[in-house]
Amino acid sequence: MAGNVELLNSVLAQARTENRAALVGYLPAGFPTVDDGIRAMTEILDGGCDIVEVGLPHSDPVLDGPVIQTADDIALRGGVKIVDVIRTVREVHAATGAPVLCMTYWNPVDAYGVERFAADLAEAGGAGCILPDLPVEESEVWRKAAAQHGLATVFVVAPSSRDERLAKITAAGSGFVYAASLMGVTGTRESVGREAEDLVARTRATTALPVCVGLGVSDAGQAAEVARFADGVIVGSAFVKRLLAADGDLDAGLAGVRALAGELAEGVRKRA
């Protein structure tokens, strides 16, 4: 079965025709449990997200802040494995019909087997992979496998990326470009800085791919602010916080993430 890169492309294009940014949610697989994580991601999509990223929990998530690290730790202590991540992709896509991507560091993919991972992700209906720590220069084996199985390869760019580096990264990527809004790790912020807008403009100068901004958006106002200049708004830590705040009350946590998705969906439609 081929992956769903074309579905991802069409959802991003549809958002653009509606003159708005796409809303992308993120949660790690296995948090709070595998089954409950599947339910939470389904709620996020039903609540207003266009796309969801399924995180593959990692013991040393260098890009992720303390909130996502906490969720990863819960998932890992619960025994989550790559097979559970693939199952999460499959069941969330089957339940919603939405594009589902996997966000993962490179080491687990390499250990699992590049071709095997691409094939399994595509068979599950996945749309692609976000690989924040895979250098473009070392990505050919993955990109070949991804293209063969109909998967997008999404690379991350940062404000520190020079223009010539941006051009090299965006030429190798597909689906969209993940623009990290500021230097540092993930987490909700009081404001989403001007660096993000500058990075989007510089990235767009090198590619026709949509540019989606993540790292820091936590509420409808910030979503509207980012939607003014980006093709997509990515939210992760704020969803994790809603589940953590429920303190084991799953129904409250599911209601919380669904409500947040709805608020953010209104935000990307307003634009600041």
Yes or no: say if 152 and 176 are a contact pair by the CB < 8 Å rule: yes
Yes or no: say if 21 and 176 are a contact pair by the CB < 8 Å rule: no
Residues written for the chain? 272
- Of 43, 50, 53, 91, the active-site residue reads 53
User: What are the tokens at 263?
Assistant: 């608020």
53 is annotated as an active-site residue: yes
- Of 35, 50, 60, 64, the active-site residue reads 64
Give me the sign of the Cα torsion angle 78, 82, 85, 91.
negative
Buried b or exposed e, range 229-255, using 16+ CB within 10 angstroms: bbbbbbbbbbbbbbbbebeeeeeebbe
Q: Kindly report the CA angle at 221 between 216 and 225, in degrees rounded to 5?
A: 70
Q: What is the set of active-site residues? A: 53, 64
